[in-house]
Amino acid sequence: MKFPLSKYIWFDGKLVPVNMAKVPVTTHAIHYGTSIFEGIRAYWNSKNLHVFRLKDHIKRFRNSGKFYNIKLNFSDKQIENAVIDLCKKNKIKKSCYIRPFYFVGQYGINFHVTQKAPTHTAVFAFPFGDLFNKNGITATISKWRKFSDMSTPTQAKMGGNYLNSILATQDAKQKGFDEAILLDQSGNVSEAPGENIFLVKNNELITPSLSSSALDGITRRSVITLANDLNLKIRERKVSKKELKLADEIFLSGTAAEITPIIKIDKKKICSGKVGNITKLFMDTYSDIVMNKNENYSHWLTTVY
Ligand SMILES: Cc1ncc(COP(=O)(O)O)c(C=O)c1O
């Protein structure tokens, strides 16, 4: 995978060339996954660069660390400025992905992580187009189950948690599918490795509730708001595996995936293998919003220049 990293990275309060942002191999996070990250997108609409729901991402960023008592050394405003300054310093005039993260630094081999554990914070960015084919992707129900809150908090975006996503992705790709769908510990639908999932049945939207170990995705929240605004019925509830195959339409939502249709699950075509009308409506609405073409949602955008 090409990784055209922008020239400068924001590291512990300073903008430095990428090769200057370094940590020792004894860094705690490398050994134990004690890192927290966010994934944010910014969209270039030929006039300006707009960061999507920046404040909401920063809020989740801070909250993720609280589950583990890992401290973020910077205020929300400082992180917000870091994101904006990073885009400006790199003169980014293309749609891009922005990755803020913080992690435990030199802390020996100690499991007893407290507020005293030293942390580093960084933000980098790179130009980013579509993650998936927007004409629809294939998915398989994974043999790997989503971890539950009884193992690690599902609402914390911790580096270590993503080993579960990596296993599910490896399994799906190895079987020739584009993406995995994970069931929760009880066998209900949870989410994809890095996306939430929505089903459409009889013109009603359904998404697994957060109690099915799904992340409280910011795109998921946006879809729920839009559904209400569009007067479409939307329900958050347990979703059985069987319902997936009986759905009229299915789509994924996520910062990286945006709105991506699923047109086949295992051997079963969804919506005759085509992008469904409701999915298309959400794809178009979302795309207009992020490009600042819908002023009803311009409060979701932070302008860079
Ligand atoms: C496990 C998981 N689920 C869902 C999502 C989608 O969340 P968001 O819409 O906030 O990007 C992500 C991405 O952050 C994720 O990592």
Neighbours of 30 (CB within 10 A): 15
Query: Per-domain residue ranges for the chain?
Result: 8-127, 137-290
Q: Quick check: is 264 catalytic? A: no
Output the CA torsion sign for 94, 51, 68, 10.
positive
Whole-angstrom Cα distance, residue 294 to residue 305?
A: 19
Whole-angstrom Cα distance, residue 12 to residue 16?
A: 10
DSSP notation for 5-65: --SEEEETTEEEEGGG----TT-HHHHH--EEE--EEEEE-SS-EEEETHHHHHHHHHHHH
Distance 194 CA to ligand 1 centre (A): 5
Closest approach atom of ligand 1 to CA 222: 9
Whole-angstrom Cα distance, residue 169 to residue 193?
A: 7
Q: Measured at the alpha carbon of residue 120, what is the angle toward residues 117 and 126, in degrees to the nearest 5? A: 150
CATH 3.30.470.10 fits 8-127, yes or no: yes
Closest approach atom of ligand 1 to CA 157: 16
Distance 108 CA to ligand 1 centre (A): 31
Average pLDDT over residues 165-184: 98
Q: Which of 2, 66, 88, 157 is catalytic?
A: 157
Average pLDDT over residues 101-115: 97
Confidence of residue 141 (pLDDT cuts 50, 70, 90): very high
Nearest CA residue ID for atom 7, ligand 1: 217
Confidence of residue 129 (pLDDT cuts 50, 70, 90): very high
| Digit-coded pLDDT (tens) for 4-39 | 889 999 999 999 999 999 999 999 999 999 999 999
Tokens of 279: 């999915």
Nearest CA residue ID for atom 5, ligand 1: 195
| Digit-coded pLDDT (tens) for 220-266 | 999 999 999 999 999 999 999 999 999 999 999 999 999 999 999 99
Whole-angstrom Cα distance, residue 169 to residue 177?
A: 9
pLDDT at 2 over 80: no
What residue ranges line ligand 1, CB within 6 angstroms?
39, 191, 194-196, 215, 217-220, 253-255
Is residue 203 within 8 A of residue 278, CB to CB? The reply is yes
Is residue 146 within 8 A of residue 219, CB to CB? The reply is no
| Digit-coded pLDDT (tens) for 38-59 | 999 999 999 999 999 999 999 9
Confidence of residue 1 (pLDDT cuts 50, 70, 90): low
Report the topology of domain 137-290. Answer: D-amino Acid Aminotransferase; Chain A, domain 2 (3.20.10)
Distance 217 CA to ligand 1 centre (A): 5
What distance, in Å, lies between the first and last C-alpha atoms of the chain? 30
